[in-house]
Amino acid sequence: MGMFDVIAGAIANPNTQGSNSQVASILGAVQQMAGQQQGMSAAATPALMSTVGSFVRSSLQEKRQTQGDNVVENLINQFAGTSPNTNAVQALFNQGQQQEVAGAVANKTGMTSQAVLAVLPLLVPLVLNLLKTGSSKAGAAATGNPVLSAFLDKDGDGDVDLGDLMSQASRFM
As a dihedral over the C-alpha atoms of residue 110, residue 114, residue 118, residue 119, rounded to 10 degrees, the angle is 20
Q: What is the pTM of this model?
A: 0.82
- C-alpha–C-alpha distance, residues 45 and 51, integer Å: 10
| Contact predicate 173/24, CB 8 Å | yes
Taking only the tens of pLDDT, the chain with its 173 residues reads 577 788 888 888 888 888 888 888 888 888 787 766 655 666 788 888 889 999 999 999 999 999 998 999 999 999 999 999 999 999 999 999 999 999 999 999 888 999 899 999 999 999 999 999 888 887 666 677 888 888 886 545 555 555 555 555 555 54
